[in-house]
Amino acid sequence: MKKKLLAPVLLSSALLASSIPVNVFAQPADPAKYQYVQASKEWNEKASVPLFVKERFTEKFSSSTPANAINYLKKHQDHTGIKSPEKNLKVKEVQKDELGMTHVRFNQAINGVPIEGSEVIVHYNENNEVVSVNGRVNQTIAEAAVNTSVSLKSDTAVKTALTAVNAPQELTYEPVTELVVYPFEGENHTAYKVNVNFMGDEPGNWFVFVDAKTGEVIDQYNGIMHAEEHKTQKGFGKGVNGDHRELHITRVKAEKSGTKFALADYSHDNLDGIFTFDSKNDWDSNNDALYVGNSAAFIGDYDRAAVDAHYNSERVYEYFLNEHGRNSLDGEGMAINSYVHMGTDYNNAFWNGQYMAYGDGDGEFFISLSAGLDVAAHEMTHGVISHTANLAYRNQSGALNESFADVFGVLVDDEDWEMGEDIMAPATKADGVTRLRSLSDPNSVVVSNPERAAYGSGVYPAHMDEYYNMPLNVDNGGVHVNSSITNHAAYLIGQEVGREKLGKIYYRALTVYLTSNSDFSDARQAVVQSAIDLYGEGSGEAAAANAGFDAVGIY
């Protein structure tokens, strides 16, 4: 069942072992080709209570430690609503940022078992003073006892999950399980959270919650994200739209055909590399190989999708490194892998939790999706999100996942505030569809998927008055449609503060304040607080952040 995972080796396929969500950039023109299968039940929102406490009078400690954060929360538990924090919180991460602030992130837990979606972050300033606390807590835990004992073995839960999502025999990596308390349908279930990842006609990065006592599936959703020394040199190629690209490539020796050149970039310090693979219009990753040419010039028609994917991956990597000091998607130099020629006439691109995948388009709605720098930035940002706030890919948190990916898409591809303008096919442009989404004017773009359009006005919303109330089985609750509301807020802020400051504010909000179940209101608080952190209380940047969200009806 398990596919062997190898570090990127020239002339062989490679995958990154990870268990992080995947998020789809664009839906196929024919919705029947790609659908989400969702449980019909709803997340128990009453068990996910937002928390944002900003101290007007800071409390100073001798050090910015988790222990002192717990002491603070214990002292103020009536104010925060977090009962017995010393017993009910587990340290997840301690992060110190460039402002000298320290952020202690906790998982809420019961009997040591983490509660899904419940995180609390305590923020210290550079003087070891607690200045704010935010996150989401499950207050129903304090009202009712939860039995965290289990009757089911984890491997049994895995088998149940595989059956529930119709997983193929060939998986991208071995399923990952975690015992959690899962708030759902008014109850707090002790469950195994099973992550199942596979490719194919309908790629999956499923999260399945299996009751640890009964074995029943409680809920499920699809989140669809060197062997030797190599010397990198410069080559060049021609992109999908005819652009000439300078590339970092590697000379390799094939057993029978002599010297060749691979789209493998080892030129960046402390980065495992940037690699581009050829899926050869097949979903079977066993057939994938590192993209190789006979010369340093990749100028054939078939090469063009790979050229753009390789070039754009490096551009996005350099943006996050130069603008935010982030070394790759995980911040620790993980390899950046892209797969081109995915499927046949496939109108999609996605991050599957391990790598970027780009379809060639059907030539009628999309051309090769790797042509878009904003598309690459969008998909790679999903990878950054997976390693930071890890926004759950459903409802408003999922819409924020899409929105932050769009925002960084237009920050990297900074020619305009539109998404997908470089991947639309000529026939689509002739019909007046010149981009996929617009941050500057969301209402100017029609929602082309009729199933989604039926839940609203038929155009992308720019204000909460136009919000699409979708069930989970349609666009995971509206993640691609409702994201345009917060997209527009970002655009309005950017018009006041400029792209560079917008990027810094949004990156801080994503990496410091947001948690997995954050909603639109949480995003406003996170963005405003980030503007205050960076530019000061009463600054023009903070005022712009408030005004941007006011303008779209997020209060």
- Residue ranges per structural domain of the chain: 1-20+236-387, 28-43+147-222, 49-137, 391-555
Q: Is 185 marked active-site? A: no
pLDDT band at 7 (very low <50, low <70, confident <90, very high): very low
Class of domain 391-555: mainly alpha
Would the pLDDT of 219 be above 90? yes
Per-residue pLDDT, 131 = 92
222, 205 Cβ separation under 8 angstroms: yes
pLDDT in tens, 378-392: 999 999 999 999 999
Per-residue pLDDT, 392 = 92
More confident position, 153 or 144: 153
Q: What contacts 24+ positions apart, CB below 8 Å, involve 465-473?
A: 465/553, 471/38, 471/40, 472/36, 472/38, 472/39, 472/40, 472/42, 472/221, 472/394, 472/395, 473/36, 473/37, 473/38, 473/40
Residue of 418, 480, 488, 541 with catalytic role: 480
pLDDT in tens, 297-328: 999 999 999 999 999 999 999 999 999 999 99
pLDDT band at 231 (very low <50, low <70, confident <90, very high): low
- CATH number assigned to the domain covering 1-20+236-387: 3.10.170.10
pLDDT band at 468 (very low <50, low <70, confident <90, very high): very high
Class of domain 28-43+147-222: alpha beta
- Our measurement of the distance from residue 465's CA atom to the centroid of its chain's CA atoms, rounded to an integer in Å, reads 26
Global pTM value: 0.77
CB burial of residue 128 (10 Å; 0-12, 13-18, 19+): middle
pLDDT band at 143 (very low <50, low <70, confident <90, very high): low
Q: Is 98 marked active-site? A: no
Q: What angle is formed at CA 220 by the lines to CA 171 and CA 395, rounded to 5 degrees?
A: 120
Percent of the chain with pLDDT over 90: 67
Going by C-alpha positions, the residue among 26, 399, 447, 28 that lies closest to residue 457 is 447
Residue of 116, 314, 379, 541 with catalytic role: 379
Cα–Cα dist 78/84, whole Å: 10
Would the pLDDT of 348 be above 50? yes
49-137 has CATH 3.30.310.160 classification:
yes
Could you identify the residue written with the tokens 């691609």? Answer: 480
Determine the average pLDDT of the residues in 290-294: 90
